[in-house]
Homo-oligomer: A and B are copies of this chain.
C-alpha cells in the first residue's frame, strides 16, 4: 500500500486538533464496529448498548426514560429502538402498578441469550479496534479524561430512585 493517506490531514487547525481527532476517531471506529455488529448479530451499536444496560439492570428491567437518559437517546429514539427489539422478541413491555404512565422495558429469555451471544464477539471487536491501541494505564487516562465531558444537561431532577410496585 501507499504510505500515508490524506485521511491523516487532521492538522488543519491547532486548537481544534484534539476535537477533530475525536470526531474522526468516533466516525471511523463506530463505522467499522457497527458494520461488524450488524453483520454478525443484526444489531445496532445502540441496540447493543441498550441490551447491556438491561442485562445488568436490577431485575433486567428499566424504565424507558431512564434507559433514554443513560444511553443518551431522546424519548422518541428509545421508543423506536425498543420497537425493533420488541419485534425481535428480545425485550418486552411491562406496566408499572404505581404509575400508569411508565412502561418498563424487560429483557426476555431470548434477549438474555441474544446478549450473551453478541457480547463475546463484540467485546473482542471493541478490544481490537479500540482497546488494544492503549496500555492499561493509558486506558485509564483516557477514561478519566473523557469522563470529564458533560454527559447531559437535561434537568436531572436527580431523583435516581423510582421504586417499583
Binding site for B on A (CB under 8 A): 1-10, 12-13, 15-32, 45, 49, 52-53, 56, 66, 69-70, 72, 123, 126-127, 129-131, 133-134, 138-143, 145-153, 155-161
- Quick check: B70 and A18 within 8 Å, CB to CB? no
- Quick check: A18 and B130 within 8 Å, CB to CB? yes
- Quick check: B31 and A72 within 8 Å, CB to CB? yes
- Quick check: A160 and B2 within 8 Å, CB to CB? yes
Give the chain B neighbours of A9 by CB distance below 8 A.
53, 70
Give the chain B neighbours of A152 by CB distance below 8 A.
5, 7, 28
Rounded to whole angstroms, the CA-CA distance of A9 and B130 in the bound complex is: 21
Interface of A is mostly: helix
- Quick check: B21 and A143 within 8 Å, CB to CB? yes
- Quick check: A70 and B142 within 8 Å, CB to CB? no
Give the chain B neighbours of A123 by CB distance below 8 A.
15-16
Rounded to whole angstroms, the CA-CA distance of A31 and B69 in the bound complex is: 13
- Quick check: B151 and A6 within 8 Å, CB to CB? no
CB distance from A15 to the nearest CB of B (A): 7
- Quick check: A150 and B32 within 8 Å, CB to CB? yes
The verdict on A142 contacting B2 (CB below 8 Å), with A25-B151, A151-B7 known, is no
- Quick check: B131 and A149 within 8 Å, CB to CB? no
